[in-house]
Structure 1
Amino acid sequence: MRHHAYVVVGDSEAGVKAALAHIERELGLKAARNPDVIVFRYGLLPVEEARRIISIAHQGAIGGEHKAVVIVASRIYHEAQNAFLKLFEEPPRSTTLYLIVPQIGQLLSTLRSRVAVLEESKKQVALPELATDFLRATREKRSAIIKKLTSGTDEEERRENRDEALALVSGIEQAVYSAWEGEPKLAALLSDIIVLRSHLYDRSAPLKMILEHLAIVTPQGLLAGRHGLAK
Structure 2
Amino acid sequence: MLREIIKHKDSLHHAYLIESDSLEIVAQIINLFEDVLKFSTKNNPDFWFGEFETFGIDDGRKINELQSKKSFNGGKQFFVIKMNFITREAQNSLLKMFEEPTPHTHFFIIMNSSEILLPTLKSRLMLVRPYSESDSEIEIEKFAKKFIKSSLAERLEMVKIYFGDSKKKEPADKSGAIRFLNELEKQLREDIDFKNVKEKDQIIFNEIMNCRSFLNDRSPSVKMLLEHISVIT
- Provide TM-score, normalisation by structure 2: 0.48
